Amino acid sequence: MRLAIEQSHHRGVQYAEVGLGLGARRQGRLDAAEKHLRNWLDWCRRWDGDAGVALILAELGFIAEQRGDTAQALALHLNGFRASRSTMDPRAIALALEGLAGAQALAGHHGHAAHLLGMAAALRGSAGAPLPPAERGDVERITAATRQALGAKDFAAAYDHGTGTTFDEL
């Protein structure tokens, strides 16, 4: 980030600071992560388009979820879902669905959470872009909580139903 600042490379600064936000969240430093990410949300809305907005809103939604703020998590992930849909990128949409699943699980709607996880997995599969192991932390956390709440059989049924759900049905 310092190098990008020295070279007046604004987009490089943005990539670097968003990356710092991603890393901080994964380290559990939620306040630092939120600061890094919020620094670029308005800029992405003006200059970077919906792909950047969708990513930042997903990350902010995960922060809200990890803080236990159900209403904020739902609002951020719904806005991120809207932004992701306009990108037409199945990976961005899958990330938004995974975030919504976390918010739904936090709200106690575990069947819906499992359904969303199944839909996200199907989208990632259709794009040939499954999550690499290093990036599965959120999905594994949400899956474990949802499976524990529903039981393995009901989780599997809701998840499998989600794999065949269309956006119109959602």
Q: 114-149 as b/e, with b when 16 or more CB fall inside 10 Å?
A: bbbbbbbbbbbeeeeeebeeeeeebbeebbebbbeb
Provide the token pair at 153.
């059989």
Specify whether 27 is located in the same domain as 66: no
CA–CA separation, 46 vs 66, rounded Å? 28
Q: Is the pLDDT of residue 30 over 90?
A: yes
Q: Please, which residues have CB within 8 angstroms of residue 76's CB and are 6 or more apart in sequence?
A: 57, 58, 60, 61, 64, 99
What are 122-163's pLDDT values in tens digits? 999 988 988 888 889 999 999 999 999 999 999 999 999 999
Closest by CA to 57, choosing from 74, 80, 25, is 80
Q: Across all residues in the chain, what is the average pLDDT? A: 91
Specify whether 66 is located in the same domain as 142: yes
CA–CA separation, 92 vs 50, rounded Å? 10
Specify whether 64 is located in the same domain as 110: yes
Q: How confident is the model at residue 102 (pLDDT cuts 50, 70, 90)?
A: very high
Expressed as residue numbers, the domain containing 43 is 1-48
Specify whether 136 is located in the same domain as 151: yes
- Domains contained in the chain, number: 2
Specify whether 119 is located in the same domain as 37: no
Q: What is the CATH number of the domain that holds 104?
A: 1.25.40.10
Q: Is the pLDDT of residue 4 over 70?
A: no
Specify whether 94 is located in the same domain as 165: yes
Q: How confident is the model at residue 49 (pLDDT cuts 50, 70, 90)?
A: confident
pLDDT of residue 7: 72
pLDDT of residue 6: 76
Specify whether 61 is located in the same domain as 79: yes
Specify whether 55 is located in the same domain as 38: no
What value, to the nearest 5°, has the Cα angle with vertex 33 and ends 116 and 105? 25
pLDDT of residue 129: 83
Q: Please, which residues have CB within 8 angstroms of residue 44's CB and are 6 or more apart in sequence?
A: 14, 52, 53, 56
Q: Show contacts of 76-83: CB within 8 Å, 24+ apart.
A: 77/102, 77/103, 80/53, 80/54, 83/50, 83/53, 83/54, 83/57
Specify whether 107 is located in the same domain as 129: yes
Specify whether 44 is located in the same domain as 63: no
Specify whether 115 is located in the same domain as 135: yes
Rounded to an integer, the average pLDDT of 75-82 is 96
Specify whether 89 is located in the same domain as 161: yes
Q: How confident is the model at residue 10 (pLDDT cuts 50, 70, 90)?
A: low
What value, to the nearest 5°, has the Cα angle with vertex 73 and ends 72 and 76? 80
Rounded to an integer, the average pLDDT of 3-19 is 74
pLDDT of residue 5: 63
Pick from 13, 33, 48: which residue ends a domain? 48
